[in-house]
RNA sequence: GGGGAGAUACCAGAGCGGUCAAAUGGGGCGGACUGUAAAUCCGCUGCUUCGGCUACGAAGGUUCGAAUCCUUCUCUCCCCA
């Protein structure tokens, strides 16, 4: 199965330029996807692009992962309704290093001819002067052409306007493609469907400047079945960095996928082949409550991103949090084991003296810890029956807790709702 | 430089002198049901020592009383030059 067929059956393909598949079928091709360092970690939204590169490499092609040291300084207007704030160079540099490190984990950088490569567009832009740029790049593309792009049109039609800086973004990205085409023989650029306009500016630029031929392919924007944004939870984006999103939370995110979405995601985010996936689907349809798809999905991605050991830990934590194990189970564990079990869960420290003096529940939740942002909210949630201490529902917001709630003389387990656990460490 | 429109809670958006902590919708959070799903239903959605306090771009002013009226300022958008 070739690259395009692979993406097609997985439901990942969005748009493909005519002739692309023929070009790829001729043999090993080089292609790239760009990642802008807007934060110091990638998030699950980037996984589609990462998987695309993985498939590209598995199909025998040579993938380039481009980190946008330069483009990150400009700001991509695609899909943005308002002008973005520029990041400082320090922040950008820090982000760049972090993103590079993450990308390194997913691709094979040592597989001979088609080893992956990492490039940074800052390398070819840092000495590119403004005058050179407007003469060598700007001259080949008309403003009329640039204005016709969706990303630009939307902003001109909207009521927020757009700076010249963001307007030029497509040229900067277009030149990236040209550079990689010229120097690394990259004949295809891939990306999310929102990147189509930018990518095509690149192929157009290559054609006009050097009469060269280059291709484009974009992938589906991942959305949830209900149309809402993919990759968000109560606490924000789901990051690949374990400091930002713990492996346990990461695992939970995937496990909580809806049935409908799971069928789509298992194709996009795992490498299992069609027969395996279809067999699981049949099994899933027969007994949806076993959530076989969600489990397989969560397992595969968690291992790819965080490794086997972290996955095992996430499973153990999950078993305790959602299994039939009672709270007494903690008594059988050592302090280290308890901490390990709760390692993926937010935790707070509380001086023992506070508990000895007796602490009001809303103080405990909102003042001594930041499980709730305010006492008012803690009280409201308690009134709605949404708070538990050691798995026991808190009856009223006036309850006072003392050392009698301690587990192992050291811990208190708090829950906000059913799914959100917090560990309070008392010492 | 000239003219116009506007700035309200997380977002959209009503309110146009008191009854406004501010309609309505969305989002979010919690509950019930369930499979840690979807759909549905219900509750909550500024802070609080529960007496109040701080809020409708900012600062002043008018008034017994202002999100609502006046002045100045800041910012945004649109049109013209």
* pLDDT value at residue A234: 59
Q: Strand B: which nucleotides have any atom within 7 A of a protein Cβ?
A: 27-32, 34-39, 43-50, 76-78
All CATH 1.10.240.10 domain ranges of chain A, comma separated, are 232-322
- Which protein residues have their Cβ less than 7 angstroms from some atom of strand B? A 156, 159-161, 226, 228, 233-234, 252, 255-259, 288-289, 291, 294, 318, 321-322, 366, 373-377, 379-381, 384-386, 416-420
Q: Which residues of A are catalytic?
A: 38, 43, 46, 80, 84, 173, 194, 229, 232-233
- Higher pLDDT residue, A163 or A255? A255
pLDDT higher than threshold 80 for residue A365: yes
pLDDT higher than threshold 90 for residue A342: yes
All CATH 3.40.50.620 domain ranges of chain A, comma separated, are 3-219
pLDDT higher than threshold 90 for residue A153: no
pLDDT higher than threshold 60 for residue A198: yes
> What is the spatial distance, in angstroms and rounded to an integer, between the CA atom of A84 and the C1' atom of B73?
26
Report residue A57: phi and psi, to 5°: -70, -40
Interface pTM, i.e. ipTM: 0.83
All CATH 3.10.290.10 domain ranges of chain A, comma separated, are 327-426
Q: Whole-angstrom Cα distance, residue A60 to residue A113?
A: 9
Q: What percent of chain A has pLDDT over 90?
A: 75
Look at domain A232-322 and name its CATH class.
mainly alpha
Can you read off the two tokens belonging to residue A28? Answer: 């090993």
Superfamily, domain A3-219 = HUPs (3.40.50.620)
With CA of A235 and C1' of each nucleotide, the nearest comes out as B28
Q: Give the mean pLDDT of chain A.
A: 91
Contact yes or no for A96/A149 (Cβ under 8 A)? no
Candidates A391, A383, A376, A384; CA nearest to A421 is A391
* pLDDT value at residue A7: 96
> What is the spatial distance, in angstroms and rounded to an integer, between the CA atom of A161 and the C1' atom of B1?
21
The pLDDT tens digits for A56-111 are 999 999 999 999 988 888 878 776 666 666 677 888 899 999 999 999 999 999 98
Mean pLDDT calculated for residue range A145-156: 81
With CA of A82 and C1' of each nucleotide, the nearest comes out as B76
Mean pLDDT calculated for residue range A345-349: 93
> What is the spatial distance, in angstroms and rounded to an integer, between the CA atom of A376 and the C1' atom of B18?
29
With CA of A319 and C1' of each nucleotide, the nearest comes out as B36
Q: Whole-angstrom Cα distance, residue A187 to residue A182?
A: 9
The pLDDT tens digits for A28-64 are 999 999 998 888 899 998 999 999 999 999 999 999 9
pLDDT higher than threshold 90 for residue A305: yes
- Higher pLDDT residue, A329 or A154? A329
> What is the spatial distance, in angstroms and rounded to an integer, between the CA atom of A353 and the C1' atom of B66?
50
Cite the DSSP H helix spans in A330-374. 335-341, 352-357, 361-363
pLDDT higher than threshold 90 for residue A226: no
Superfamily, domain A327-426 = RNA-binding S4 domain (3.10.290.10)
């Amino acid at each position: 199965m070739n690259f395009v067929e692979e993406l097609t059956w997985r439901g990942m393909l969005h748009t493909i330029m005519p002739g692309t598949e023929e070009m790829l079928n001729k043999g090993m091709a080089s292609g790239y996807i760009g990642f802008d360092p807007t934060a110091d970690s990638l998030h699950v939204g980037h996984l589609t692009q990462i998987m695309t590169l993985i498939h590209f490499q598995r199909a025998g092609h040579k993938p380039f992962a481009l980190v946008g040291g330069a483009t990150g300084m400009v700001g991509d207007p695609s899909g943005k309704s308002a002008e973005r704030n520029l990041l400082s160079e320090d922040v950008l540099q820090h982000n760049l290093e972090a993103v590079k490190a993450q990308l390194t984990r997913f691709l094979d950088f040592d597989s001979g001819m088609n080893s992956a490569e990492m490039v940074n567009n800052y390398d070819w832009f840092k000495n590119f002067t403004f005058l050179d740029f407007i003469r060598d790049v700007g001259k080949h593309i008309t403003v009329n052409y640039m204005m016709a792009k969706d990303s630009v049109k939307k902003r001109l039609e909207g009521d927020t306007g757009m700076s010249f800086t963001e307007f030029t973004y497509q040229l900067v990205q277009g030149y990236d493609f040209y550079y990689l085409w010229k120097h690394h023989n990259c004949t295809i650029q891939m990306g999310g469907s929102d990147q189509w306009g930018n990518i095509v500016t690149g192929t157009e630029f290559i054609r006009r400047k050097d009469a060269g031929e280059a291709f484009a392919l974009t992938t589906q924007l991942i959305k949830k079945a209900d149309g809402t944004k993919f990759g968000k939870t109560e606490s924000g984006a789901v990051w690949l960095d374990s400091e930002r999103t713990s492996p346990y939370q990461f695992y939970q995110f995937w496990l909580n996928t809806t049935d409908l979405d799971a069928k789509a995601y298992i194709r996009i985010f795992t490498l299992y082949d069609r027969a395996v996936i279809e067999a699981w689907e049949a099994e899933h349809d027969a007994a949806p409550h076993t959530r076989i798809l969600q489990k397989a999905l969560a397992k595969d991605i968690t291992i790819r991103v965080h490794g086997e050991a972290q996955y095992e830990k996430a499973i153990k934590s999950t078993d305790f949090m959602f299994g039939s194990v009672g709270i007494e189970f903690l008594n059988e564990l050592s302090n280290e084991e308890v901490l390990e079990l709760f390692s993926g869960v937010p935790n707070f420290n509380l001086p023992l003296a506070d508990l000895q003096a007796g602490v009001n529940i809303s103080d405990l939740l909102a003042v001594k810890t930041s499980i709730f942002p305010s006492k008012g909210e803690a009280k409201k949630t308690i009134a709605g029956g949404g708070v538990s201490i050691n798995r026991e529902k808190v009856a009223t917001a006036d309850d006072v807790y003392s050392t009698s709630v301690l587990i192992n003389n050291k811990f208190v387990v708090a829950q906000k709702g059913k799914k959100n656990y917090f560990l309070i460490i008392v010492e």
